[in-house]
Amino acid sequence: MEIETNYIKMKVPHEGGNLSFQHPAFKGTYENVAEQIDKAELKRPTSPEAASLVYNSFQNKGGKYESEIIKILKDAWFWEFTGNLYLPKSNEEINNGVILEHNPKIENGKLIMDKSSLIKRLKENDPLLKFVPFGYKTEKQSSLELSRNPYVVARYGEEGAEKIAKVADKYPNKPYVWSFDSVDEEIVRMSALGRYWNGVGSLSVNGNSWDDDLLGHAFGVCGK
């Protein structure tokens, strides 16, 4: 990780190039952190971008900023600005699974994911969207299973899923994926990455975060 001055800019390798995050991290609820990032005229980090940040921090664990990122990941969690719209089984063409959207709308403190417009964009092959049918493994699994989990691959991309699996190997216990096996109605949820909530040593890939009172962190993306 390279550090540029003027203001602190953390540069990390990402998908064949570089990505820069501004330091220090913003802290608060999902919507509050989004507001802070927007006010600073930065970009909200998506799941693939968050994967690159945490993975590269483990490559230099003794670094001042890297160690801080690792501590946040192990003591709390990072907000990822990738939304999850879970759909029940129906007669519609897109059903019984989850639509993932990078940088979804947030209005009045709420995550907005409109099914009709998202399905239209899916049919147009919008690169910010992915659909994963239910049947992927949830809860406890091996790092190898995590790296190949269709939900994890859709959320982080193939490269990001590999990075997340390698981060999971840094913990003594197997990682967890918190999502749904099925739903009876449409459910919108946020994404987060951190430590398993009960304090055991596991990486938690959370796709059903919803508590507005919970405090997380995020570093705004400030360029390549």
The amino acid at 191: S
Q: Does 224 score more than 90 pLDDT?
A: no
Between 160 and 212, the higher pLDDT residue: 160
State both tokens at 45: 């980090």
Q: Does 173 score more than 80 pLDDT?
A: yes
Q: Does 155 score more than 60 pLDDT?
A: yes
- pLDDT attached to residue 198: 59
15-28 mean pLDDT: 93
Mind listing the pLDDT tens digit for each residue in 23-78? Answer: 999 999 999 999 999 999 999 999 999 999 999 999 998 899 999 999 999 888 89
Out of 87-91, 123-127, 193-197, pick the least confident.
193-197
Residue 37 and residue 221: Cα distance in Å, rounded? 9
Mind listing the pLDDT tens digit for each residue in 174-195? Answer: 999 999 999 999 999 999 999 8
Q: Does 200 score more than 80 pLDDT?
A: no
Q: Write the CA distances from 3 to 13, 63, 70, 221, integer angstroms.
A: 13, 11, 17, 14
Q: Does 212 score more than 80 pLDDT?
A: no
State both tokens at 170: 């840094």
Residue 92 and residue 106: Cα distance in Å, rounded? 26
Q: Work out the mean pLDDT of the chain and round it to a whole number.
A: 92
Residue 106, strand partner residues: 111
- pLDDT attached to residue 107: 86
- pLDDT attached to residue 74: 86
State both tokens at 74: 């192990």
Between 210 and 6, the higher pLDDT residue: 210
